[in-house]
């Protein structure tokens, strides 16, 4: 089955926010130190978002459905555009970005259940638990607005009394990112 790219050039994708019992989030390092991010992956044609979620979870970090509990998911697609240098110019149709359904999962298994050997080309080579807002700072720059939006929306389900306090760097580093997220929201979802 092939990836699903819509008529506007956005590849359908799931994003996975994995949280432990302490409210920390799982962050994985791309092979060769190419940056840190959440697990994510393309949806296949005809595949429901939850099916994609559990397939990608198993492929990328070795966890299966019984290892987690779905806490929340985004109400609509969250989108980001890829900078020109990251677009696959030979793909048909051309992919200009991602539209993602984000899921917040509670980890129920032991940390030792996390594995990177389920595929021949692992997505990650290292991982760690981080404070709630830290992934926004560490993910590649063009994904920061969608990470901030996903955490704001999903965090309300994990923290009904209020989201974790913003870190000291938030105002300085994220104010422009949040403004960009608000400005780049794509209508017609």
Count up the domains in the chain and report the number. Answer: 1
- Kind plus residue range of the DSSP H or E element containing 182: helix 170-184
118-160: pLDDT as tens digits: 999 999 999 999 999 999 999 998 999 999 999 999 999 999 9
8-58: pLDDT as tens digits: 999 999 999 999 999 999 999 999 888 999 999 999 989 999 999 999 999
What is the extent of the structural domain holding 60? Answer: 10-184
109 within a domain of the structure (yes/no): yes
Among candidates 120, 128, 112, 156, which has minimal Cα distance to 18? 128
Contact between 107 and 26 under an 8 Å Cβ cutoff? The reply is: yes
Q: List the CATH number of the domain containing 81.
A: 3.90.79.10
The SS3 call for residue 25 is strand
Contact between 145 and 173 under an 8 Å Cβ cutoff? The reply is: no
Dihedral sign computed on CA atoms, order 115, 29, 17, 134:
positive
pTM given for the model: 0.88
46 within a domain of the structure (yes/no): yes
40 within a domain of the structure (yes/no): yes
């Amino acid at each position: 089955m092939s990836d699903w790219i819509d008529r506007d050039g956005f590849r359908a994708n799931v994003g996975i926010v994995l949280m432990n019992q302490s409210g920390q989030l799982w962050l994985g390092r791309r092979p060769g130190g190419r940056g840190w991010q959440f697990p994510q992956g393309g949806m296949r044609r005809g595949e429901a978002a939850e099916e994609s979620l559990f397939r990608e979870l198993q492929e990328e970090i070795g966890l299966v459905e019984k290892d987690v509990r779905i806490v929340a998911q985004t109400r609509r697609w969250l989108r980001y555009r890829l900078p020109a240098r990251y677009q696959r110019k030979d793909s048909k149709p051309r992919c200009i970005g991602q539209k993602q359904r984000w899921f917040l999962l509670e980890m129920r298994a032991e940390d030792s259940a996390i594995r990177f050997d389920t595929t021949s080309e692992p997505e990650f080579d290292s991982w760690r638990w981080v404070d709630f807002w830290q992934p926004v700072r560490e993910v590649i720059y063009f994904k920061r607005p969608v990470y901030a939006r996903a955490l704001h929306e999903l965090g309300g389900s994990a923290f009904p009394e209020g989201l974790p306090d913003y870190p000291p760097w938030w105002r300085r580093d994220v104010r422009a990112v949040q403004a960009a997220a608000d400005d780049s929201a794509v209508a017609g979802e």
